[in-house]
Structure 1
Amino acid sequence: MNIAIIGLGNIGGSFALAIKENIPDANTYAIDIDAEVLERAKEQHIIKDGSRDFKDIIPNADLIIFAVYPKLLVQLVKDYAPYLKEGCIITDVTGVKTSLIGDVEPLLPEHADFVFGHPMAGRENRGLEFSSREVFIDANYLITPTPRNKEENIEFLKNFVKTLEFGSISVISPDFHDEVIGFTSQLAHVIAISLINSDDDARNTKKYTGDSYRDLTRITNINEKLWPELFMMNKDHLVKHIDNFQIQLDKLNAAIQSDDVETMEEMMLESTKRYKDLHDIED
């Protein structure tokens, strides 16, 4: 099987490493704008070969994994479409699905099947040097099929990511994906960004932090080019989640200001209950 990874950064590199470890017979190729990254990956035997010119790789690819920003992905699909191999399967790692699917599917030839996916794994740092196959081990993977997809290709992607040692694999609708990711991922980033940016620069906070602040701000080492795209492409769901969060924040704020201990205790008991459910902790 010839596999083409488009974008050999953190996630693309992690796929390459996971494929090398778990599917050693596969021929893994990469396309990236950085020739030095491609050469380094080849020297380290992470990929078989790489190129900056997609025409060197795409026509022979059985599986294509897009690990690039969503807007770029759309443009690349438009460029690649005339060169796609008969029966090739395409997938992605993008954190927003509904609008992306609407942009991509009209560009596809009938003989290519794009099964949209989302690995719930990764690291804050960018670049091939931060890639790791271990981040995929037991991680969740989301697949968002469309009516255009062939059932056997959905099954192929399930088996493929299972072979790469992902844990729970969920097949969900694109809209539900965007709704739940808007809450679990995008809202979490909105809160973390707002928290760290509300700090008083003159305080020199880093001298006084503990685990709580470090844990809550870990994800603020953020890709400032990617995340605005994700926020804007999912704004309807995300703004709704921000509004619901604001309701809870206002409720807690009011309870603190009015010395309403009962409300604070109720909110904390509810959060503890939800935490235990999230982590499958028995009372």
Structure 2
Amino acid sequence: MDCTDFNITIVGLGLIGGSFAMALRKLNPKNIWAIDIDKETLRVAQEMNIIDKGYLNPEIPLSNSDIVILAVYPQKTINFIKSNMDSFKSGAVITDTAGIKCNLIHEIMPVLREDLDFIGGHPMAGKEESGLKAASKDMFKNANYIITPINGNKEENINLVGTIAKGMGCKRVVYLTPKDHDDIISYTSQLPHIIAVSLIDCNSLIKGTSRFIGGSFRDTTRVATINGELWPELLLYNKENIISKIEDFEKNIKEIKTAIINNDDVFLKKRFEDATRKRKEIVKDV
């Protein structure tokens, strides 16, 4: 992809924003700028040569940027766009990386200038660590990237965001409505995090448990190492979907519990066989 004519600004140089900066370098844009509240982070990023210049004040980079990538938490994404609406360059494409979409669209679109195009994005990539120190140029390699276009988005801008995702190494770009995104993500991402946290918080976890931990416990609880500032936002902004998924999970747990109480090995065998088959079908194309 030819990005040589584009000035790109990344807002927030944490894990995702820093990884964007690293991955975008190979697309050779005209400039990669960054906006962050931490002066030291900007200094380090510039020393690493993953950005051309860092800014504490958004006005200068925004007024000259063709593409703006917001890599901050959902509420901060909303606040940033609202607070800096007058600074964006006319015709700029704005995209985000947040794990929820409907709330953002509801808040941003009524105040968005007509000459700007906001296109929701969600890279399905990450790790337990946070901050620029954990960023990687390979963060998006073979990852899925979700784009949530809405009425009014220009087709060429939707394609631009998708092409950038592919250029950074994503193997698949998926297009969904914001509503479908939030529904699906509540099951594939948010519910697993809740289950992992609940498992760690069980009363069965006692002193010395670590001596009896194997692969199943490590795999199931990996995502319990969770960002306590970000995740309440994601869950509360997607409340209806996540409550529905929790209730569905509770129903399944109750059915298995009842089968154990009743010594119903036939039910248990069928449930486990069905789960094995379904998982193979789900992950075969991942």
Instruction: Work out whether the TM-score is over 0.5.
Output: yes
Aligned to 2:3: none
Alpha-carbon displacement from aligned partner over 1:24-76 (angstroms, at most 9, x marks no partner): 24411111111111000000101101011111311111100001111111111
User: Map of 1:5-44 to 2, 5 A cutoff?
Assistant: 5-20=10-25, 22-44=26-48
Equivalent-residue separation in structure 1 for 2:248 and 2:168 (angstroms): 36
In structure 1, the gaps of 5 or more residues are none
Alignment CA distance shift 1:33-1:201 (3 Å): same
Whether contact under 8 Å (1:19, 1:26) holds in the other structure is: no
Alpha-carbon displacement from aligned partner over 1:171-198 (angstroms, at most 9, x marks no partner): 1111000000000000011100100011
Identity of aligned residues (%): 39
Aligned to 2:121: 117
> Is residue 108 of structure 1 aligned with residue 112 of structure 2?
yes
Equivalent-residue separation in structure 2 for 1:148 and 1:93 (angstroms): 20
Equivalent-residue separation in structure 2 for 1:241 and 1:253 (angstroms): 18
Aligned to 1:207: 211
Alignment CA distance shift 1:214-1:26 (3 Å): farther
Whether contact under 8 Å (2:143, 2:171) holds in the other structure is: yes
> Is residue 184 of structure 1 aligned with residue 188 of structure 2?
yes
User: Map of 1:32-111 to 2, 5 A cutoff?
Assistant: 32-111=36-115
> Is residue 269 of structure 1 aligned with residue 273 of structure 2?
yes
Q: In terms of mean alpha carbon deviation, does 183-192 or 158-167 score higher?
A: 158-167
Alpha-carbon shift at residue 201 of structure 1 (Å): 5.0
Equivalent-residue separation in structure 2 for 1:257 and 1:267 (angstroms): 15
The aligned amino acid for 1:6 is V
What TM-score comes out, normalization by structure 2 length? 0.95
RMSD: 1.1
User: Map of 1:253-268 to 2, 5 A cutoff?
Assistant: 253-268=257-272
Aligned to 1:158: 162
Equivalent-residue separation in structure 2 for 1:139 and 1:24 (angstroms): 21
The aligned amino acid for 2:161 is L
Equivalent-residue separation in structure 2 for 1:220 and 1:133 (angstroms): 25
Q: Which of residues 178, 181, 184 in structure 2 aligns to 1:174? A: 178
Equivalent pairs counted in the alignment come to 280
Equivalent-residue separation in structure 2 for 1:14 and 1:225 (angstroms): 20
Aligned to 1:144: 148
SS at match of 2:245: helix
Equivalent-residue separation in structure 2 for 1:199 and 1:117 (angstroms): 39
Name segments (4+ residues, structure 1) moved above 4 Å.
none
Equivalent-residue separation in structure 2 for 1:216 and 1:37 (angstroms): 33
SS at match of 1:116: strand
The aligned amino acid for 2:96 is D
Aligned to 2:137: 133
Alignment CA distance shift 1:112-1:221 (3 Å): same
Equivalent-residue separation in structure 2 for 1:56 and 1:124 (angstroms): 33
> Is residue 194 of structure 1 aligned with residue 198 of structure 2?
yes
Equivalent-residue separation in structure 2 for 1:280 and 1:202 (angstroms): 37
Whether contact under 8 Å (2:141, 2:171) holds in the other structure is: yes
Alpha-carbon shift at residue 113 of structure 1 (Å): 0.3
SS at match of 1:191: helix
Alpha-carbon shift at residue 124 of structure 1 (Å): 1.3
In structure 2, the gaps of 5 or more residues are 1-5
Alignment CA distance shift 1:26-1:214 (3 Å): farther
SS at match of 2:103: helix
